[in-house]
Amino acid sequence: MNLSKGWIIAIVVIAFVLLLLGSAVRMYNKMPNLEEGVNSQWAKVESAYQRRSDLIPNLVNTVKGVANFEQQTLTGVVEARAKATSVSIDPTKMTAANMQQFQQAQNGLSSALSKLMVVVEKYPELKATQNFLELQSQLEGTENRINVERNKFNEEAQKYNSFIRRFPNNMFAGMFGFEKKAYFEATAGAEKAPEVKF
């Protein structure tokens, strides 16, 4: 009788250990999947920003064609584009500081483009050209894409961050090097929409 009680206890302990081990394996396997979701969405964010960056040379060339266009404004756009394209983030090292640096570079480009569009108001002949109107429309669409992709990135990062911060996931996340991902945050003053007239 004692022997069968010992076997029952051993079987219960083994079953419990196997259950815990299975749970830990499932938990661990979900972390890379969620992290890959964040990385994949980050690639889409970068792609949207790259599209905007690729449109800028055509926009600058179109605007350059107008006599007496303000050279300082064009130079500001070109320099901001160069700075924005030089800052990139490795998705495996996505810290709040890296994200802030990336956002500042992209915000600088957005600001330079806004200034360019305001200056364009002084040139009705430019606003009437088909090439400029198409580029303007593409830029507006790209800005919308950027916003959509950034929001989706924040959703993926939130899913990942929530998962790795829950108990007991947080113990495994710490052991295996899964770290919290930074979010895109609104720029200071973003709650007030800028007035840009096209």
Tens-digit pLDDT profile for residues 56-92: 898 888 888 775 677 888 888 889 999 998 888 888 8
Domain that holds residue 150: 2-176
Please, where are the H alpha helices in 65-129? 71-86, 96-120, 124-127
Give the residue among 141, 143, 89, 88 at the shortest CA–CA distance from 111: 143
Residue 192 forms part of a structural domain: no
Contact 101, 184 (CB under 8 A): no
What's the pTM?
0.77
Predicted confidence at residue 18, as pLDDT, reads 86
At residue 148, does pLDDT exceed 90?
yes
Across all residues in the chain, what is the average pLDDT? 84
Between the ranges 93-102, 115-124, 151-160, where is the mean pLDDT highest? 151-160
Residue 43 forms part of a structural domain: yes
Residue type, 169: N
Residue 12 forms part of a structural domain: yes
Residue 146 forms part of a structural domain: yes
> What's 44's domain CATH number?
1.20.1440.20
Predicted confidence at residue 187, as pLDDT, reads 64
- List the Cα angle 185/160/184 in 5-degree steps: 10
Residue 176 pLDDT class (50, 70, 90 cuts): confident
Residue 181 forms part of a structural domain: no
The rounded distance, in Å, linking the Cα atoms of 113 and 142 is 13
Residue 23 forms part of a structural domain: yes
Domain count, the chain: 1
Residue 3 pLDDT class (50, 70, 90 cuts): low
At residue 156, does pLDDT exceed 70?
yes
Residue 195 forms part of a structural domain: no
